[in-house]
Amino acid sequence: MLHKLATTARPSRATHATRTTAAVRGAGGRRRITTSSEALGLERIGIGAGKHVNYNLTYPEIAAHEDQLGVNSQPAVRSSTGSIVVDTGKFTGRSPKDKYIVMEDATRENVWWGDINRAMSPEVFDELHSKVKDYYNDLDEFFVFDGYCGASKSSRRRIRFLGFDVSQHHFVRNMFIRPDDAELTAHGIDGWEEDFTVINACELINEDWERHGLNSEVFVALSVEKKVQIIGGTSYCGEMKKGIFSMMNYWLPQEGTLPMHCSANKCPTTGSTALFFGLSGTGKTTLSADPNRLLIGAKRTPFLEPF
């Protein structure tokens, strides 16, 4: 499927030579775009030192990467409006039968297990997680985005995304709440401690999927206790978004907040609100964009509290 990202090249996988950390802002306030794995403290998630990290790139910086280096190992293609066009391969959407939640103490009694929420053992997750970390430790360069999910500061979460291709970085910059550039340093955001990490290693496949008792070589798995989601075998970037939405659906009800997959609008005179529920593609956005009503949100997850 071809996706358009409004506004990439595969980083090399060779030596592990240490690079000097570059400040996010250089002399005269000009923004710099690179730092290092050790400066961002990636060792706490198993990523070694000496990696060249493109950190929270701006749109012009992303466009420069796309145009100079390509996207998903292919030359960059832009639409007539200038948006980058990304081919996600055979996966034109999510692969729900390949999505798993680790069965662990935190989830055993708090997840509605079944065909939708499929269980993965901690042992299988640890094996796949190790392969994902090995993949990143074999890279010289990759992308890190730090951002937020949730507009309310009382309930939002700090999320860190690792991607090896600029298109993944572009996607999460579009999708999640960005910190102000003034907050960024070569060591990340002051006081930052992520609530969850997403590691996209979609070039990897699980050759042992039958031994593991899984659906296929594709895996999209999250561990609540380890605070990490790992992705392999699918280039569809929406898996990153849906993984975090799944986590918000886990966290928020336990805090007395109801997350909803819907769009919303209201009457400008009476203030009455309408919520539009439905599966993707059934018209929530179209219906909520009534020109005679005020749009509250579309393709997002509003929250009601308390419930």
Q: What Rg do the C-alpha atoms of the chain give, in angstroms?
A: 20
Q: pLDDT band at residue 54, thresholds of 50, 70 and 90?
A: very high
The domain segmentation of the chain, as residue ranges, is: 2-255, 258-304
Give dist(CA 51, CA 46) in Å, integer: 12
Residues 252, 258, 264, 270, Cα dihedral to 10°: -130
pLDDT surpasses 90 at 302: no
Mean pLDDT calculated for residue range 175-180: 94
Give dist(CA 140, CA 53) in Å, integer: 9
Q: pLDDT band at residue 32, thresholds of 50, 70 and 90?
A: low
Which residue did the predictor score with more confidence, 70 or 213?
213
145: which DSSP letter?
E
Q: Quick one: what percent of the chain has pLDDT higher than 90?
A: 70
What are the Cα distances from residue 186, in Å, to 29, 36, 57? Answer: 13, 8, 12
Q: pLDDT band at residue 296, thresholds of 50, 70 and 90?
A: confident
pLDDT surpasses 50 at 207: yes
Give dist(CA 292, CA 307) in Å, integer: 29
Here the tokens at position 278 are 């439905």
Residues 129, 15, 140, 78, Cα dihedral to 10°: -120
Q: Which DSSP string corresponds to 55-99?
A: ES--HHHHHHHHHHH-BTTB--EE-TTS-EEEE-TT-SS--GGGE
- Among candidates 43, 46, 65, 45, which has minimal Cα distance to 55? 65
Give dist(CA 22, CA 36) in Å, integer: 8
Give dist(CA 209, CA 131) in Å, integer: 13
Where residue 193 falls (left for φ over 0; alpha for ψ -120 to 50; beta otherwise) is: beta
pLDDT at 274: 93
What's the chain's average pLDDT?
Answer: 87
- Which amino acid is located at 126 in the chain? D
Identify the three-state secondary structure at position 200.
strand
- Tens of pLDDT, residue by residue over 68-88, are 988 888 899 999 999 999 888
Q: pLDDT band at residue 21, thresholds of 50, 70 and 90?
A: very low
- Tens of pLDDT, residue by residue over 106-154, are 999 999 999 999 999 999 999 999 999 999 999 999 999 999 998 888 8
CATH of 2-255, one of 1.20.120.1810, 3.40.449.10, 3.30.499.10, 3.30.420.40: 3.40.449.10
Mean pLDDT calculated for residue range 269-284: 90
pLDDT surpasses 70 at 288: yes
Give dist(CA 127, CA 64) in Å, integer: 36
pLDDT at 28: 41
pLDDT at 260: 85
